[in-house]
Amino acid sequence: MMTGAGGLFEAQAQVQARGEAPPGQAAGLKQVGAALLKVFGFEVYQARLWAEPGFQPDRYEQYRLALELAYLRNLDGVAIAQRSLKEMQRLETLSESQGRQWLAEMTRLFPDVRKGDRITGSYQPGRGVSFQLNDRPLGEVNDPAFARLFMGIWLSPRTSEPEMRRQLTGNTAP
């Protein structure tokens, strides 16, 4: 049974109102913040972050997290993987072989998305990150360095989107 984008967003709004992690995510996580990504005036996705109690943004890599991206337009999975790698490389220098390996992993995991689709990354400190598409498992990368840098795309102080980070981490200071 397919659910239209309206139904998905209504269900997400109900979960968001309760502050609970999306279905299929680790229990005990609470919503920290939400943000909208716009690129050249085009809305790309709505992001929501859930974390365990006591979450401190500058030590994000020490907490269980769930980051959900609710897409507002169609995007190619390979393009998502390529952009993700580029953002990870902004945060830390990677060897050429490491970059190729991680790009291959993301290309394998990330499908093409349609407006209304949600990809959620569930981060386990020191272990890795698993991915779901609309609550259906896509797979995981059991590499702590990959997981830390992947989540750092949105949560590192060196992110390319500092305003988005501020909103996601619940920082209300301008």
Give domain limits for the chain. Answer: 5-168
Neighbours of 91 (CB within 10 A): 17
* Cα dihedral 15, 72, 7, 1 sign: negative
Neighbours of 60 (CB within 10 A): 24
When pLDDT is cut at 50, 70 and 90, the band that residue 135 belongs to is confident
Residue 52 binned pLDDT confidence (cut-offs 50, 70, 90): very high
**C-alpha atoms less than 13 angstroms from C-alpha of 111 in its C-beta half-sphere:** 16
Second-level CATH architecture of 5-168: 3-Layer(bba) Sandwich (3.50)
Instruction: Tell me the mean pLDDT in the region 74-93.
Output: 97
Q: Of 140, 103, 101, whose CA–CA distance to 124 is shortest?
A: 140
Lowest mean pLDDT among 19-33, 98-112, 121-135, 136-150: 19-33
pLDDT at 65: 96
Residue environment code for 95-128, b if the CB has 16+ CB neighbours within 10 A, otherwise e: eeebeeebbebbeebbbebeebbbbbbbbbbeeb
More confidently predicted of 173 and 37: 37
- Note the pTM of the prediction, 2 decimals: 0.84
